[in-house]
Copies of this chain bind each other. A is one copy, B any other.
């Protein structure tokens, strides 16, 4: 069996995984995009997300690279899949990633509104309406010996953390202060859950490997 893990989840120094006032135009909330300044310029992300050669190498890139390794299925909160709220008005919205999403496997999207699965290139999106446990069960079955990656957002990670279902978590702390927004860890006792942290200094963020060992 693979692990259930979080990778490359970026938070601010004051602990927010997204800024306040998320809107259609600003899905990460006010200044939320500043959390990812370390991430997008890396070689791994330039290749995986934008299909481009080149980009920054180094510690940050190392974490971006390993985030794609051995992933057999993903789980995303609905807001990470798209800005549409409530009922799916039609099936036109197919995610933020164009015709070739960077997943290359089954992606389970948590939602309260049913929608048929569809594929883009080698990624298939499934819409799970019977809750996070059901999504995790399906994702594990699909991943087989590989890992299930919980993509986010903050509230999705919080749910799986509180349920004790996450085994490894890589957080990237970016040197920004958001002040308000979606806090990742407030009220969650990572020590009581058995986690310890190791620090790795990157060029644009500080990385923490949070595991049970």
Contacts and interface: CB of A to CB of B under 8 A. Distances in A.
Interface of A: 13-15, 31, 171, 173, 175-180, 185-186, 188-193, 195-199, 201-202, 205-206, 208, 210
B175 A208 contact: yes
A68 to B, nearest CB: 24
Nearest to A209: B175
The 10 tightest CB contacts between A and B, nearest first, are A179-B191, A201-B201, A179-B189, A175-B199, A177-B190, A206-B206, A175-B197, A14-B185, A177-B191, A13-B197
Contact of A191 (B178, B195, B208, B210): B178
A14 B198 CA distance: 13
A180 B185 contact: no
Contact of A185 (B15, B191, B201): B15
Given A14-B190, A175-B208, 15 more contacts: A13-B197, A13-B208, A14-B185, A173-B173, A175-B197, A175-B199, A177-B191, A177-B196, A177-B210, A180-B191, A199-B205, A199-B206, A201-B202, A201-B206, A206-B206
